[in-house]
């Protein structure tokens, strides 16, 4: 059983930012910070299965790919890396790349990495605040400049770079070719309302990602049967004995906590282990039926192969 106010690990990156506000007041004397990793406050506790982080991009990230579990284990790693992104802010014209414009053979992919033409083969999409992007292991991808992104992923640092914009860091040609699905990305699933407070963003074999929208001054109970992360996007709330504000997170596992929402309401992300939404995750103490499912929206989201240029979906466009 555990409930903790998560602490942060600062990760410097050449493409990062020196100003992380409003998500954090952390500064590193002008040194660019690319990522903030949320970690358990109990340093002696086992590592969680999931990693929640914030990314701040002033320059484009490398074009890269992550291995799936099978490939990762074949090279001595514990597991692969599937991830999902939630766009917290985006400058006009900001883009992400997911998948390739067309299917490549293995020799074609290798050649495109070696001569740098891979940069013209990835499929870029413009993104807006509150867009959601699912990136299964094996998907070639990249994140452009001008973005703040919340990322939930399998806890792995297995990254194979295909192109790095002249930064002189190592490329991983053999591993990238072996791990990559050298074609268009899977279609993005459409966000789906679960209750009046919960929206399903991603349901994958490795984790579930939801957005929660809680009304001002409301009272809830969060019941985390499995590892669960909560990230505050707007507003604030008291979670048990802890008050959490924008950019802060809590960790729960096999535990429950009360959530007393502040005067401006609360918008947040919930990420937890599982393959389907948990029906018992969130209960409203103020209104008997506030957390009951919305009718006719019970089917699970599915993923299909996409043609090049398939859109990224925005949660704000849905009811």
Q: How far apart are the first and last CA of the chain?
A: 35
Q: Cα(100)–Cα(90) distance, rounded to whole angstroms?
A: 22
**Catalytic residue chosen out of the listed positions 110, 161, 192, 198:** 161
Cα–Cα separations (whole angstroms), residue 198 to 95, 103, 223, 247, 270: 27, 37, 14, 19, 9
User: Which backbone phi and psi does 118 adopt, to 5 degrees?
Assistant: -60, -30
Q: Quick check: 317 and 190 in contact, CB under 8 A?
A: no
User: Which backbone phi and psi does 70 adopt, to 5 degrees?
Assistant: -65, -45
Name the H helices within the chain. 69-74, 106-115, 173-179
Please confirm, yes or no, whether 161 is among the known catalytic residues.
Answer: yes
Cα–Cα separations (whole angstroms), residue 11 to 14, 173, 176: 10, 25, 23
Specify burial of residue 149 (Cβ count, 10 A radius: 0-12, 13-18, 19+): buried
Q: Quick check: 229 and 6 in contact, CB under 8 A?
A: yes
User: Which backbone phi and psi does 57 adopt, to 5 degrees?
Assistant: -115, 120
Q: Cα(37)–Cα(31) distance, rounded to whole angstroms?
A: 17
Active site residues: 161
């Amino acid at each position: 059983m555990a409930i903790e106010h998560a602490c942060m690990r600062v990760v410097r990156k050449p493409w990062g930012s020196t100003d992380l506000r409003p998500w954090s007041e952390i500064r590193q004397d002008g040194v660019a910070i690319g990522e903030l990793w949320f970690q358990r406050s109990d340093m002696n506790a086992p590592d969680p299965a999931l990693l929640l982080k914030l990314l701040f991009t002033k320059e484009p990230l490398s074009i890269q790919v992550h291995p799936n579990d099978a490939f990762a284990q074949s090279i001595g790693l514990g597991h692969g890396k599937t991830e999902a992104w939630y766009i917290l802010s985006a400058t006009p014209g900001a883009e992400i790349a997911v998948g390739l414009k067309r299917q490549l053979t293995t020799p074609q992919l290798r050649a495109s990495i070696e001569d740098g033409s891979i940069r013209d083969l990835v499929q870029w999409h413009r993104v807006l605040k509150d867009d959601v992007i699912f990136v299964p292991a094996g998907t070639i991808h990249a994140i452009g400049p001008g973005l703040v992104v919340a990322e939930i992923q399998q806890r792995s640092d297995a990254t194979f770079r295909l192109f790095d914009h002249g930064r002189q860091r190592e490329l991983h040609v053999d591993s990238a070719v072996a791990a990559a699905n050298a074609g268009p990305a899977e279609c993005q699933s459409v966000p789906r309302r679960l209750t009046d407070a919960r929206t399903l963003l991603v349901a994958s074999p490795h984790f579930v990602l939801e957005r929660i929208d809680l009304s001002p001054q409301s009272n809830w109970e969060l019941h985390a049967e499995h590892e669960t992360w909560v990230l505050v996007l707007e507003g604030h709330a008291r979670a048990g004995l802890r008050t959490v504000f924008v950019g802060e997170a809590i960790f729960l596992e096999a535990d429950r906590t009360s959530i007393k929402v502040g005067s401006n309401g609360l918008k947040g992300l919930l990420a937890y282990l599982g393959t389907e939404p948990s029906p018992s995750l969130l209960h409203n103490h103020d209104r008997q039926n506030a957390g009951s499912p919305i009718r006719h929206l019970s089917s699970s989201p599915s993923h299909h192969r996409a043609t090049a240029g398939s859109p990224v979906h925005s949660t704000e466009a849905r009811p």
